Structure 1
Amino acid sequence: MSVPTSRALDARLALVAPALHRASAQLWRPEGDLTGRYIDYLWAMHALTVASVPLLERAAAVCARLDEEWAPRLAAYFAVHAEEERGHDAWLLADLVAAGEQQEPPLPPPLVVELAGAQYYRIEHRHPAALLGYLAVLEGHAPSPALAGVLAARTGLPEAAFRTVREHAALDAGHLAEVQRQLDRLELTAAEQTEVAVSALHTAGILARLFHQLAADPGGQQ
């Protein structure tokens, strides 16, 4: 009996999960300028989230051109998920205003550009199903339900500055389960499964690097 695609992907991601957990722990450590690190995190997530809906819409459009029986189902999933993600960049801007930030969005960190840009390449030049690997990592490493309260207590920022962290802690478990259902419903070839896995592992690696950069450079965006 073959292993479900989602379980095979989970096994691969388990190899890199410790590195992501270490990076996250460094980012949220109580020592140093935690408030500055949190604000930098919000700006980085805003820059990444701005790309979310266009990525999903592009993947849906490319799926619609594929001569695969399951492609319309995947296109529909991407389109629905785009609507679920729409407006989340505005949540982040509202969090930043609540945290006292009034400036225009700064240049995005290059690692954020690499995260989103790699997916544009994969959608256009490899296979749109690769975006599922990206989503599996981002949805699977959402903030913990306790993080917003911990950060509020340690930074002294108002509760209104933590909406996105709270919302994603609540929403992303369901989103991850849907990504896994899609993976297991699709009749992906071995090569297409590899595209998904490579996308996921690449995403996990860049995300860990981004967290380490934010942890090491509070107040910096480059």
Structure 2
Amino acid sequence: MNSAGLGREGGGTGASARLRVKLRLLEPEFREATSHMWRSEGLLPRYRTYLCVMHTIVRASVPLMELALERARLSASSGDPLAAPLAAYLEEHIREEEGHDAWLLEDLRAAGGDPRDALDAMPSPLIASLVGSQYYWIEHHHPVALLGYIAVLEGYAPAPGLTDRIARLTGLTAAALRTVREHAVLDTGHLDALYALLDELAPARDREAAVAVSALHSLDALTRLFVRLGRSAPAPPPRGAGLVPPMGVAP
């Protein structure tokens, strides 16, 4: 999930520390985009659009990880040293992320929106770039690249105070804010586990570079999604008749 939060700090000199240093280069733009997106003016319709578009991202989380798990298992049989620990991590993380797309639809309904707006409209090209690149790298390079994507969705999760801000400015009840509320708590632990895995894997330079490229691409795409969502929040288009205005998420 992605929102106003920033990547967590951490020390050390391993793969996780090097990834954090790279991501910090893009954080100023991300911070500016999220700050503008969560401004008080027009927040309620913008929040509904955010939920719609977050669903188009989050509903792909488990399928992405299942594909990476399948490829990791195949790589394990050929002696890839990254494959077994990566597969074990993905098996656990799939269980942790199951059902989060349903949370978004429940939030949308409670916020006065129509879940069909999230389910039926064609996702924007930016979302296809954000999510679809991972399918390509998993299939045609190495499944370890997905760790960069996960690092961004977990590391730039909703800030702890965002739920209260949205409730105060929109009048929405807790029933409309579950996803933001839960991910502000869950993603801290998830990110710690991912960074621990990266350091345990100690990937070779080319594999570490794949994780970094995936992460930087993901944060850049996420920033552009937030910028677009922050510009306006028009009503979702008629189902099947166009693109959902893009936003800015997470497994």
- Shorter-chain TM-score bucket reads over 0.9
> Secondary structure of 2:233's partner?
coil
- Is 1:52–2:64 an aligned residue pair? no
* Structure 1 residue 157, shift from structure 2 partner: 1.6
* One-letter amino acid of the structure 2 residue matched with residue 112 of structure 1: I
- Is 1:195–2:210 an aligned residue pair? yes
**As a proportion of its length, which structure holds more helix?**
1
Residue equivalent to 1:18: 28
Cα distance between partner residues in 1 of 2:100 and 2:125: 21
Could you tell me the TM-score, scaled by structure 2's length?
0.85
Cα distance between partner residues in 2 of 1:69 and 1:199: 20
Cα deviation digits, residues 5-42 of structure 1 (max 9, x gap): 000000000100111111110110112x1111111110
State the 4+ residue runs in structure 1 displaced beyond 3 angstroms: none
- Is 1:171–2:182 an aligned residue pair? no
> Secondary structure of 2:122's partner?
coil
Cα deviation digits, residues 103-135 of structure 1 (max 9, x gap): 512322321221110100111111111111111
Cα deviation digits, residues 132-172 of structure 1 (max 9, x gap): 11111110100011101110110112221000000000100
> Secondary structure of 1:45's partner?
helix
Seq. identity, %? 47
* One-letter amino acid of the structure 1 residue matched with residue 177 of structure 2: F
Moved more, 186-195 or 204-213: 186-195
For residues 103-182 of structure 1, what are the structure 2 equivalents within 5 Å? 103-104=115-116, 105=118, 106-182=121-197
- Is 1:5–2:15 an aligned residue pair? yes
For residues 87-102 of structure 1, what are the structure 2 equivalents within 5 Å? 87-102=99-114
* Structure 1 residue 65, shift from structure 2 partner: 1.2
* Structure 1 residue 187, shift from structure 2 partner: 3.3
Taking only aligned residues, the RMSD between alpha carbons, in angstroms, comes to 1.3
* Structure 1 residue 70, shift from structure 2 partner: 3.3
* One-letter amino acid of the structure 1 residue matched with residue 33 of structure 2: A
Cα deviation digits, residues 61-113 of structure 1 (max 9, x gap): 10111121331111111111011100000000000010111251232232122
Residue equivalent to 2:95: 83
Cα distance between partner residues in 1 of 2:53 and 2:221: 13
* One-letter amino acid of the structure 1 residue matched with residue 89 of structure 2: Y
Residue equivalent to 1:184: 199
* One-letter amino acid of the structure 1 residue matched with residue 122 of structure 2: L
> Secondary structure of 1:29's partner?
coil
Could you tell me the TM-score, scaled by structure 1's length?
0.96
Cα distance between partner residues in 1 of 2:202 and 2:185: 30
Cα deviation digits, residues 176-197 of structure 1 (max 9, x gap): 0011011001131101111110
* One-letter amino acid of the structure 2 residue matched with residue 186 of structure 1: L
> 5+ unaligned residues in a row in structure 1: which ranges?
none
